[in-house]
Structure 1
Amino acid sequence: MLNVIQLLPDSIANQIAAGEVVQRPASVVKELLENSVDAKAKSVQVIVREAGRNLIQIVDDGVGMTETDARMSFERHATSKIRSSDDLFRIRTMGFRGEALASIAAVAQVEMRTRRAEDELGTLIRIEGSDIKAQEAISCLPGTNLLIKNLFFNVPARRNFLKSNSVEMRHIIDEFQRVALANPEVGFSLFHNDQEIYNLPAGKLSRRIIDMFGKSYREQLNYCEEQTPYVTVRGYIGKPESAKKARNEQFFFVNNRFIKHNYLHHAVVGAYEGTLPEGSHPFYVLFVDIDPSHIDINIHPTKTEIKFDDERSVYAIMMAAVRKAVGVYNLSPSLDFDSDVNFLSGGRSGGSRPSPSDSKADIPRPITPSWSSGSQSAEQKPKTERVTFRTDSLDKAAGSSFDMPQKPSSNNWQALFKSLEESAESKPTEPVGDWLGPAKPVEPATSGEPVESEALTLGSRANQLQDASAVVEDENIVQIQNRYLLATIKSGVMLIDQRRAYERVLYDQFHAALTKRNGVSQQLLFPKTVTLTPVDFQLALDLRDDLINLGFQFDELGQNTFVIRGVPTLTTGENEEELFANLLAQLRADTGRLKLDRAESMARSLARRSSQRHITRLSLTERKALVGQLFASSNPSYTPTGEPVTTILSLDKIAGLFR
């Protein structure tokens, strides 16, 4: 019988190893940047063409290599930092020339020029698919210049699995950001197709964060530090009010190596407890310094996941450090006991207490309706208080409806009240939402009785649609805590999550606009300017057509800046800059997790974002319309992400609650 087991040639073995190390162009950028940092470089330049498909060039001013080291760095299992098995548990560096170079050279055309400062001549090496084509002495600058050309040229199947240039470039920028944040003392620059993306001078960590993410981060950074004999935590955290909807600006570094650790993330979020809006994620760049013997970095090929020998202690120290920073910098909301809530400095907006030297006109006075006078009868005073309360609540509700009706003047409350009375008199038989009994007619308003809240219908696109399915008895729809709707059906009671119902309805409308390319835009009276990160700027350019189909209208205005001229009509009333920036950030976060097409991903992201503002009080007409829209949607039972929208309590189940 012939022997069937044989040793693989080095070229094939290197290609197999490359499958673990070189997954995409971003993997090459990561490995070579870390090599440059370990080579003690003070300046590193990254040049990329076609998102790394055609060229990745890394130029550094590090220590360089000798002729022998340059050749040995491309051999399998070559390394400069491990001499014995004990060294595996004392690794603090990223790696010097070696290890990854053999894998990269197996699937690309590689050209390396390197020279030490004390040598007169450097070394040039050319390799194609693990085959050394040339090695000669040349004249070059001190440091190392690596060119990776035509990645996966000899593995076409791997090349075909690469994503679009915009997606691959976003991965490259992510890896670039991680290495640049971990090494602020090193200057970094990044160019893509001859366009400068980043130019980061060497400096402090705070300067690096501001240079990388924008000047707006200057006001939200707060230093965080906690030192113990076991571990040291340091870095910067963001203020709660600057938290974003997408979780994409959160960085952990253990011994200056970027990691992903959900357990530590839970500790950071726990320290913000009570200060973050629902669904928001804080910004943080946190470094953990610990003895390498207490961690295991070899549980993942890319070393982005590690294990601590005492995770609970690290968790507690991390939470204490962040919580201390939150307290020291007064990030938590606090009560101002010096302010007088009975006095405001004009209108219904709050103001600070003026100094005695202020003019008499600026002295705060009690709020008094403009139509109030001393000649009013005592019977009208209760009505005044009622209207004041209703106006505040209506303003809040109107700000969350689909269509923003023209807001009545706050200085003409009497006219508003008269319009409410006329509305009630014109519809004396409109039913109210009393689900315990039959609908009762509403009596016309009189001077001594307050107007029922159900007599007013807010402007909403929901009112333009048909009533709900006949399954739900419309007159028996009740709202609970501005969050849930309770509707009676023949078999019992249906409970509807209001926010999720809006998410389902909005998703269908956004997805239809994208697929039919008929999104309607609401023009802005004053165009808004938004500055994005380089990653999101590139993403917006790539998704320009889809964003226009949704209803966005925007133009480029300088580097990483857009001017927004229009937004989708279904999102009017929101902050346009935040809506645009958060949508792009959410799309970028979803790219790596979800295997969805663009239309699906964009419709999901925008629907979830827009549904948050619909946790508000609805009139009876709006409740009916929402239920009607929900049952007319493609899937009334679940949101686009699979969360349940409705649940039914049968009569038997209700009866069981009383046994």
Structure 2
Amino acid sequence: MPSIARLPDNIANKISAGEVVQRPASVVKELLENAIDSGADRISVVIRDAGKELVRIIDNGRGMNREDALLSVERFATSKLRDVADLDTLGTLGFRGEALASISSVSHFELRTREADAPVALKFRYEGGIPAEESEVQGEPGTTVSVRNLFYNVPARRKFLKSNATEYGHIFELVRSFSLAYPEIGWQLVNDEDELFNFRTPDLLERLDTFYGKGFAESLVEVGEENDYLSIRGYIGRPALQKRKRLDQYFFINRRPVQNRMLTQALQQAYGELLVERQAPFALLFLGIDPSRVDVNVHPAKLEVRFDDERSVRNMFYPVIKRAIRTYDFSPDLSAAAPQATPGSAPAEGSSSFGGGYRTLSFQEVPERAITKTELYGNYREGALGATPSAPSGPSRQETMFPVPDVPAAREDISQLLRSSMHEGPDEAEAGPKGEDPKIWQLHNKYLVCQIKTGLMIIDQHVAHERVLYERAVEVMESSVPNSQQLLFPQKVEFKPWEFEVFDEIREDLYRLGFNLRPFGSRAVMIEGVPQDVRPGSEVTILQDMIAEYRDNAQRLRLEKRDNLAKSYSCRNAIMTGQKLSVGEMRTLIDNLFATREPYSCPHGRPVIIKMSLAQLDHMFGRS
């Protein structure tokens, strides 16, 4: 007698269910894909006990006749493939023909379906994959699938399901992603008799505001690019306002929800230092590509995809996101309550939209486009009245904490505008001839308030100085330009054992940064020189604080060594809250800030600048 035997279908289906049906959310995903493929424009999801007791999907799609309904629960039976070549031209979400067979084998399964021209609906009931009932019943056109007591006959699998809150969270995230991917479909979600949402209009704005709070959509930036190889459409979040988790990143390949590490990393890298550490930007992005260039048959869950040329996709995806980010001023607005668009209303004249009912989201409700870095700085400096004084020589380290760096020829206009007016108060700052100097005040020794042409801007003095120091430190370490200023009286530092280990690791880069350190005993060094930005008298404290910050960053974050050192140095050496600045120091700090590559955020991602326009002020005071 042979030792190898063909497994019965019910056992094979249970084994297959281990890959296809991992939790209640897996059931919801497979059934929703079938509902969408059926052409439904209305889908309801009903769950009880986080899907453990009941998952019911109701759609108004094409429905099935008796023969198709019986085959749909058979393993490897599908209407979406006929031969292997069809895998290269898939236009449907489902295609494997395993889902219903796997689901029915581990639950009490009921299928009701009716074609539009059929007089009655057909009902099929299965228990553990075994047919239990077939009958005719009354029902609306479409299909309803009810899955009860999931894993009732696989107690080990049911035992390892997570808490109801966790399982419900997976289901909610899944239904939310589908409702955003298919706005032309009306979606309803009911959890334990409580209706969570019921979208009846194809308005993406309404859905985003429902999920993320009123006005959320206004903070998004539209992305759009298309060529013969790849199309990209969708929205990304403004980093100064949106600090969200990775679950709030949606990638769709040919409208299929997918997970792809390359896309996630490219998105993160495009934002760069605009993000707070360990945070991720919001993204709702649709990529269109020839189906033959992407493999969706990687895993039974159909979430993972592989591109035939991943490098080319990244090389097109990354610049599009980077360009969209750089197009907008990411300094937050202190916005008044903006009028809300009516869900379902038509786009404003001149706005654009793309398929499936997407409406272009207004970036600002006030009649003002985003102010660029150049314009914002120009507005601040507009009061110079064309004066062209010679650029002052950089003050010594003892004279000011803000040494003025050499300015490239391309930015000669900034150099010419650097003036060392050392007035000590706001009254004196305004005392000069009209238009002679920009208006600037220090608020609570913490924030700098500046008048600009379009309103005002508020700058956090600590993070502004941190941004300046960070970029200067990176540039110095990469260029190996001498940056050390010798101390008249060297300072001795005694390290703790862990401090000396960190010091030994970064010793070479400390030297590149400008720290001239000489060993003095087993765990001590003499500070003989420091970077020119270090304040006199703080040499020892700065070095010890930098080492502590460096170790903390290394434990919490995965930063490249020099980047970590530059961030640690800038954080510990920047001016602190509560430190009073002269008018000249404030102006020099602002000039240095706008000479950086990223003036809108500090190296850790916190916003540096907040601006308020006159239109917003007028709105607050009822003038608009």
Q: TM (normalized to structure 2)?
A: 0.59
Q: Is the 8 A contact 1:73 1:99 kept in 2?
A: no
In the other structure, the counterpart of 2:614 is: none
Give the equivalent residue in structure 1 for 2:582: none
- Deviation of 1:182 after TM superposition, in Å, equals 1.6
Residue type matched to 2:191 in 1? Answer: H
Residues 277-315 of structure 1 show CA distances to partners (whole Å, capped at 9, x for unaligned) of 444422111111111111111122212111112222211
Query: Does structure 2 retain, via aligned residues, the 8 Å contact 1:397–1:616?
Result: no
Other-structure match for 2:373 = 334
For 2:48, the equivalent position in structure 1 comes to 49
SS of the residue 1:34 aligns to: helix
* Cα distance between partner residues in 2 of 1:72 and 1:500: 62
Name the CA distance, whole Å, in 1 between partners of 2:180 and 2:193. Answer: 23
Q: Given that residues 200 and 212 in structure 1 are in contact (C-alpha distance below 8 angstroms), is that contact kept between their aligned partners in structure 2?
A: no
Conserved? CA contact 2:497–2:523, under 8 Å: no
Aligned residues: 422
Change (3 A) 1:369 1:228: closer
Q: Which residue of 1 aligns with 2:267?
A: 268
1:156 maps to: 155
Aligned to 1:227: 226
- Deviation for aligned residue 1:328: 4.3
Paired with 2:569 and 2:273, the residues of 1 have a C-alpha distance of 20
Q: Superposition RMSD on alpha carbons, in Å?
A: 4.5
Q: Give the AA of the match of 1:21.
A: V
What residue is the counterpart of 1:633 in the other structure?
A: none
Residues 1:18 and 1:135: Cα distance change in structure 2 (over 3 Å): same
Quick one: distance in 1 between partners of 2:279 and 2:261? 16
The answer (yes or no) to whether the contact 1:36–1:44 under 8 Å persists in 2 is yes
* Match in the other structure for 1:318: 317
Deviations 1:342-366 (A, max 9, x none): 989xxxxxxxxxxxxxxxxxxxx99
Separation in structure 2 between the aligned mates of residue 22 and residue 438 of structure 1, nearest angstrom: 64
Q: Measure how far apart 1:59 and its partner are.
A: 1.1
Distance in 1, matches of 2:551 and 2:313, equals 41
Q: Determine the structure 1 residue equivalent to 2:33.
A: 34
Distance in 1, matches of 2:316 and 2:142, equals 40
Change (3 A) 1:59 1:96: farther
Looking at structure 1, the residues matched to 422 and 383 of structure 2 have their Cα atoms a distance apart, in angstroms, of 5
- Say whether the 8 Å CA contact 1:80–1:97 is kept in structure 2: no
- Aligned pair in 2 of structure 1 residues 10, 435: CA closer, same or farther (>3 Å)? farther
- For 1:498, the aligned partner's letter is A
Q: Does 1:136 align with 2:175?
A: no
Counterpart in the other structure of 1:16 = 15
**Which residue of structure 1 lines up, in the alignment, with residue 425 of structure 2?**
369
1:498 and 2:541 matched = no
* 1:59 to 1:488, Cα distance in 2 relative to 1, 3 A: farther
Are residues 288 and 392 of structure 1, via their aligned partners in 2, closer, same or farther at CA, if it must alter by over 3 Å? closer
Structure 2 CA distance for partners of 1:155 and 1:504, relative to 1, 3 Å: same
Classify 1:30/1:342 alpha carbon distance in 2 versus 1 (closer, same or farther; 3 Å): same
Partner residue in 1 for 2:190: 191
- Structure-1 residue corresponding to 2:533: none
Cα distance in 2 for partners of 1:216, 1:38 equals 32
Give the aligned residue type for 1:244.
Answer: K
SS at match of 1:92: coil
Question: For residues 240 and 293 of structure 1, do their structure 2 counterparts lie closer, same or farther at Cα, with a shift above 3 Å needed?
Answer: same
Query: What do residues 371-403 of structure 1 show as CA deviations (whole Å, max 9, x unaligned)?
Result: 999xxxxxxxxxxxxxx999569996799xxxx
Report the alpha carbon displacement of residue 321 of structure 1 after superposing the two structures with TM: 2.4
CA distance in 1 between counterparts of 2:194 and 2:490 reads 67
Tell me, yes or no, if the aligned pair for 1:11 and 1:106 is still in contact at 8 Å.
yes
Aligned equivalents of 2:297 and 2:381: distance in 1? 59
Partners of 1:73 and 1:97 within 8 A in 2: no
Q: 1:222 deviation in Å? A: 2.1
Query: Is the Cα–Cα contact under 8 Å of residues 245 and 279 in structure 1 kept in the other structure?
Result: no
Distance 2:498 2:234 in 1: 56
CA contact (8 A) 1:57 1:148 kept: yes
Find the aligned partners of 2:102 and 2:200 in 1 and give their Cα distance: 31
Inter-CA distance 233–434: structure 2 relative to 1 (3 Å threshold): same
The aligned amino acid for 2:156 is A
C-alpha separation in 2, matches of 1:87 and 1:100: 19
Q: 1:124 to 1:391 in 2, by over 3 A?
A: closer
**Sequence identity (%):** 37
Aligned to 2:100: 101
Over 3 Å counting, the alpha-carbon distance change for 1:489 and 1:307 in structure 2 is farther
Provide the C-alpha distance between the structure 2 equivalents of 1:82 and 1:471, rounded to a whole number of angstroms. 63
Give the residue type in structure 1 aligned to 2:21.
Answer: V
Answer yes or no: is the 8 Å Cα contact 2:25–2:170 preserved in 1.
Answer: yes
Q: Distance in 2 between matches of 1:90 and 1:7?
A: 33
Deviates more, 1:62-71 or 1:330-339: 330-339
Matches within 5 A, 1:619-658: none
Matches within 5 A, 1:115-264: 115-244=114-243, 246-264=245-263
Rounded Cα–Cα distance in structure 2 between residues aligned with 1:20 and 1:314? 29
Comparing 322-331 with 297-306, which one deviates more in the overlay?
322-331
- In 2, Cα distance between the equivalents of 1:612 and 1:243? 24
- Inter-partner Cα distance in structure 1 for 2:499 and 2:324: 51
Contact 2:550–2:568 under 8 Å retained in 1: no
- 1:143 Cα deviation from its structure 2 partner: 1.1
**How does 1:506-545 map onto structure 2 within 5 Å?**
none
CA distance in 2, matches of 1:498, 1:471: 9
Q: Structure 2 matches for 1:241-640, cutoff 5 A?
A: 241-244=240-243, 246-273=245-272, 275-331=274-330, 334-335=373-374, 336-340=376-380, 368-369=424-425, 436-437=490-491, 490-492=522-524, 497-499=547-549, 615-617=571-573
**1:10 to partner: Cα distance:** 0.6
Q: Secondary structure at the match of 1:212?
A: helix
- 2:446, 2:461 within 8 Å by CA — same for their partners in 1? yes
Any idea what SS the aligned residue of 2:56 has?
strand
In structure 2, the residue matched to 1:59 is: 58
On the 8 A contact 1:35/1:96 being kept in 2, the answer is no
Helix, strand or coil at the partner of 1:4:
coil
Indicate conservation of the 8 Å contact 1:235/1:287, yes or no. Answer: yes
Q: Distance in 2 between matches of 1:185 and 1:255?
A: 15
Per-residue CA distance 1:448-491 (angstroms, 9 max, x = gap)? xxxxxxxxxxxxxxxxxxx9979979xx9x9x899x9x998834
Q: Secondary structure at the match of 1:173?
A: helix
2:395 corresponds in structure 1 to none
Once residues 489 and 70 of structure 1 are traced to their aligned partners in structure 2, the CA distance between those partners, rounded to angstroms, is 83
Show CA shifts across 1:516-540 (max 9, x none). xxxxxxxxxxxxxxxxxxxxxxxxx
Instruction: Say which SS state the counterpart of residue 287 (structure 1) adopts.
Output: strand
* Counterpart in the other structure of 2:348: none
Change (3 A) 1:231 1:124: same
CA contact (8 A) 2:499 2:547 kept: no
User: SS of the counterpart of 1:134?
Assistant: strand
Question: How far does residue 269 in structure 1 lie from its aligned partner after superposition?
Answer: 3.1
Give the C-alpha shift of residue 614 in structure 1. Answer: 11
- What amino acid does structure 2 have at the position aligned with 1:271? A
Q: CA 1:177–1:499 in 2, change beyond 3 Å: closer, same or farther? A: farther
**Residue identity opposite 2:136 in structure 1:** A
Deviation readout 1:527-563 (Å, 9 max, x if unpaired): xxxxxxxxxxxxxxxxxxxxxxxxxxxxxxxxxxxxx
Unaligned segments of structure 2, at least 5 residues: 332-371, 385-420, 430-441, 449-459, 465-486, 526-542, 557-566, 577-624
Distance 1:490 1:619 in 2: 33
Three-state SS of the structure 1 residue aligned to 2:245 is coil
Contact 2:492 2:524 in 1 (8 A): no
Asked if structure 2 preserves the Cα contact closer than 8 Å seen for 1:198 and 1:212, the reply is no
User: Counterparts of 1:51 and 1:312 in 2: how far apart (Å)?
Assistant: 40
- 8 A Cα contact 1:271 1:319, kept in partner: yes
